[in-house]
Chain A
């Protein structure tokens, strides 16, 4: 399947067609939490992209070495290593971003986009396509975050990247309810555009989740998609 697609397609699919945030419903926590300003959104997006590209590359290199049974703990360890490096770099060179992202910087380690791409793509494909896949997904993530960040910052604090653009401030947009609301509307928009373009629309948040194969509660919810390619061992960690 992977060979038929060109490398360029591997790169662009994450940005529009399979956007991790708006179409695959991955990485919802940081999407809601750090998008109170456009600057934060970019900071989070870049940090996650860096981790995603590095972990995709390493996991793809090690895909034949890691035993299938312990692959998820192995992936988590690799990802956690890169997250620690990124955390140190951000602390050293962009302390302001570090302060505003707070706990969500180390939490990149449990961001389902990264584990999801490791499980669904990097573990089955060669290094170069894996890196491009990571880069595309990362850019898609950043773009979606930026979209939310801009909307919430412009309406919530009346500024854009810190410059004043609106005379009024609708405080609710930068509070938690505003996050859910803007995210809901953006998904509605993405669904509408996707239906028009004839792409399939994701209805259940479990669908893109990397754990849906191993997760037995996903079956209860009838949201495990047809993951019949491979029976997977149930031990996770």
Chain B
């Protein structure tokens, strides 16, 4: 049952509730860094890493520190500061101990502090704990959800990078050149993801 629900949470985060294409979180890097495949992958890996790390830290802080002390209203300010601190910490640690990884991921780290997908994931995960339904999120679910959200981001970025390389050589009406056509192709990619709706529930039924 637990494994089943974990799989369902993971798949849902990638396909049906894709953070970029159906929740509109992290649109700036999605449009800005998706021009080339290698930068798209680098950015997504860095985002996934920070997402999981941030969720791993904010979940216990919210549940065991903020809620018991009636400080839940401080969620926004505490979370953004934790994320900012974590990003800085990751940057320092990578620079010191794994310089090769820092070379490839470090450039994306400053962007991540203000990436709404990270703050969004840490908050949305906790909203699912609050609901009084039969199925609530445990710590494991939260981490899997964050990881799935990161993988979903990667999938969307890679797909979109592919679409954009094809756009480069396409003949586009003058007014639509640049951003408008990028957004319209994003719309088509999002449309294809709509096809997954209901898919996860059928594949891994929770009840």
Residues of A within 8 A of B (CB): 25, 28-30, 32-33, 72-73, 76-77, 80-81, 83-84, 87-88, 103, 106-107, 109-112, 115, 172, 175-181, 183-185, 187-189, 191-192, 201-206, 209-211, 214-218, 220-221, 223, 234-237
Q: By CB atoms of chain A within 10 A, which of B73, B75, B77 has the most? A: B77
Task: Report Cα–Cα, A106/B62, bound state, in Å.
Answer: 15
Are A221 and B32 within 8 A (Cβ)? yes
Chain B residues near A32 (CB-CB < 8 A): 24, 27
4 smallest CB-CB distances across A and B, nearest first, come from: A237-B84, A184-B183, A180-B187, A188-B180
Q: Which residues of B contact A203 (CB under 8 A)?
A: 178-179
A110 and B119 in contact, given A180-B186, A217-B107 (Cβ under 8 angstroms): yes
B23 within 8 A of A: yes
- Contact A176 B32, CB 8 Å, known A29-B116, A106-B123, A184-B184: no
**Inter-subunit contact A217/B194 (CB<8 Å):** no
Give Cα distance in the complex from A221 to B111, angstroms: 13
Interface residues of B, count at CB 8 A: 58
5 CB-based A-B contacts, threshold 8 Å: A33-B25, A81-B77, A110-B116, A204-B179, A216-B110
CB neighbours (8 Å) of B36 from chain A are 221
Compute how far the CA of A148 lies from the CA of B100 in the bound complex, rounded to whole angstroms. Answer: 45
**Does A110 contact B115, Cβ atoms closer than 8 Å?**
yes
Which residues 138-182 of B have a CB within 8 angstroms of A?
175-176, 178-182
Contact string against A for B residues 68-83, beta-carbon threshold 8 Å, 1 for contact and 0 otherwise: 0000011111001101
Interface residues of chain A: helix, strand, loop or mixed (majority): helix
Give complex CA distance A235, B123 in Å.
25
- Name the one of A28, A84, A184, A188 contacting B28, with C-beta atoms under 8 angstroms: A28
* A210 & B114 in contact (Cβ 8 Å cutoff): yes
Within 8 A of A (CB), among B68-119: 73-77, 80-81, 83-85, 87-88, 106-108, 110-111, 113-116, 119
Whether B56 is near chain A, meaning CB under 8 Å from some CB there, is no
- Contact A191 B190, beta carbon cutoff 8 Å: no
Contact between A77 and B179, CB atoms less than 8 A apart: no
Shortest Cβ gap from B92 to chain A (Å): 9
Across the interface, do B35 and A221 meet the contact criterion of CB distance under 8 Å? yes
Q: Is the CB of B183 within 8 A of A110?
A: no
Please name all residues of chain A whose beta carbon is closer than 8 Å to the beta carbon of B175 when the two chains form the complex. 188-189, 191-192
| Distance A204 CA – B81 CA, assembled complex (angstroms) | 29
Closest chain B residue, CB of each to CB of A180: B187
Residue of chain A at shortest CB distance from B38: A220
Distance from A203 Cβ to chain B, minimum over Cβ atoms (Å)? 4
Contact of B25 among A29, A172, A209, A216 (CB under 8 A): A29
The smallest beta-carbon distance between A174 and chain B, in angstroms, is: 12
Residues of B near A223 (CB, < 8 A) are: 32
A216 partner residues in chain B, CB cutoff 8 A: 106-107, 110
B124 beta carbon closer than 8 Å to chain A: yes
- Across-interface contacts of A218 in B (CB, < 8 A): 32
Contact (Cβ within 8 A) A220 B39 = yes
Please pick, from A77, A107, A184, A235, the residue contacting B181 in the complex, using a CB distance under 8 A.
A184
Please give the distance in Å from B110's CB to the nearest CB on chain A.
4
**Contacting pair B24 A221 (CB below 8 A):** no
Which residues on the B side are within 8 Å of A188 (C-beta)? 175-176, 180
Establish whether residues A106 and B27, one from each chain, have CB atoms under 8 Å apart when the complex forms.
Answer: no
- Scoring B residues 4 to 29 as 1 if CB is less than 8 Å from chain A, else 0, what string do you get? 00000000000000000111111110
List chain A residues, Cβ under 8 A from B74.
Answer: 84
> Chain B nearest CB: distance from A201 CB in Å?
8
The answer to whether B32 and A112 have CB atoms under 8 Å apart is no
The answer to whether A176 and B190 touch across the interface, beta carbons within 8 angstroms, is yes
Knowing A80-B81, A221-B39, say if A176 contacts B28 (CB, 8 Å).
no
**Chain B residues in 8 Å Cβ range of A72:** 113
B39 in contact with A217 (CB, 8 Å): yes
Q: Is the CB of A107 within 8 A of B24?
A: no
